[in-house]
Amino acid sequence: MHREVSSSLGRDTLRQFASKNPIFTCIISYTATSEIPGITIAGAAPEMIQYTSPADAEFLYYGRCKCIGSVPATPDGKPTPALITRTALRLGNIPALVIDAGSKVKPSIPLISLGLSPGENIELRDAMPPSDVKQALDHGRVLGKELAKLSDMVVIGESIPAGTTTALAVLVALGINAKFRVGSSMPVSPHELKNKVVSAAMKRAGVKAGDVGSPLEAISLFGDPMMPAMAGVAEGALSEGGKVMLAGGTQMAVALSVLKMKGIPMKRLCVGSTRYIARDRTSDLPGLVREIAPQVPLLYCDLHLDRSSKPGLRAFAEGFVKEGVGAGGASIAAMLGNQKITGRKFLNALEKEYESSIEAAFESKASS
């Protein structure tokens, strides 16, 4: 077993989630909550935020974006985590399907639609109607069943700007003490701003922390369309006898709480993330998972980005971006599925991918 991959519940659980034919899915979505100034660094300018998820999805398939002319990276070269995901999928020859749960801009790819609208700004109104929560769960479940017939492990990643803020709101509404424990794409999570948004949303809805008993109701009030879609796909795949990896950061806690509430057996379920999230001092994914579903292992992998020659990649180890687009889960799936994909090999491939996409685009921009 790779030294790069660890598990919160011991190395035996790694063996359980090793798969020769995993399938990777990424749920792209949108919440107008992301339009609150300062809440996300996804998207260089405010009007660009809506392009974040579709750009990620296009990058997965093409290694470049069609919906935006620019590179999916900050001006100083910190790339989208989709770069890691794409590297993992290519190294592991892992098939990928993108699921649309209410993204605002549609990527130019074949896209599995769940027929959902974007989520609302939770400061101003309910996130989504209960009928949309139900449809996300129902359609997700139908899809998850089919995916589990195709593969013994379904990895479910996500891309939604401001998703940690809506996750915080849902967890707090459910009475889970999540304040100062959700992640961020910034080195220091803007916890105060997130808490303020959550307080405003709860005041709007007239509820207090712990007032909401049902995760589905909490999602309708304060969540986003990604959440029930992820829970639905997971439930469907588990019900078909498949293994499931929720691939991401603290937002996974919401999907866990839905599955727990529904009484879904979680023996074949894990969370997969990067070490940069699992060991993050500004958030607490391990604690949240333990609190909601102690039997579910948190798998995480060390991508050795601190050793990279590329400052843009080293930034991940320094607290920027850290996770997203299922980067950690895809890397774990690739490594556990094939012993030949060592940490060194992965880093080499990642740097090559960085050169051919991000650096090449910066150079052609500079020379034009």
Name the residues that contact a second copy, by CB under 8 A: 21, 23, 61, 93-97, 99-100, 106, 108-115, 135, 139-140, 142-143, 146-147, 149-151
At closest approach, how far in Å is the CB of 237 from a second copy?
A: 11
Please say whether the beta carbons of 163 and 280 come within 8 A. no
Nearer to a second copy among residue 39 and residue 114 (C-beta): 114
| Kind plus residue range of the DSSP H or E element containing 143 | helix 130-150
Residue type, 103: S
At closest approach, how far in Å is the CB of 339 from a second copy?
A: 20
At closest approach, how far in Å is the CB of 349 from a second copy?
A: 18
- Give the Å distances, CA to CA, from 339 to 2, 19, 208, 334: 7, 11, 49, 9
- Give the Å distances, CA to CA, from 139 to 7, 144, 155, 234, 277: 31, 9, 17, 11, 30
Nearer to a second copy among residue 98 and residue 171 (C-beta): 98
Distance CA 165, CA 171 (A): 10
Nearer to a second copy among residue 136 and residue 350 (C-beta): 136
Coil/strand/helix, residue 351: helix
Q: What is the CA radius of gyration of the chain?
A: 18
Nearer to a second copy among residue 113 and residue 364 (C-beta): 113
Burial class (CB in 10 A: 0-12, 13-18, 19+), 149: exposed
At closest approach, how far in Å is the CB of 113 from a second copy?
A: 5
Nearer to a second copy among residue 24 and residue 320 (C-beta): 24
Closest listed residue to residue 72, CA positions, set 319, 251, 324, 258: 324
Nearer to a second copy among residue 21 and residue 356 (C-beta): 21
At closest approach, how far in Å is the CB of 100 from a second copy?
A: 8
At closest approach, how far in Å is the CB of 23 from a second copy?
A: 6
Nearer to a second copy among residue 60 and residue 332 (C-beta): 60
At closest approach, how far in Å is the CB of 57 from a second copy?
A: 11
Within 10 A of 37 (CB to CB), how many other CB atoms are there? 7
Please say whether the beta carbons of 272 and 88 come within 8 A. no
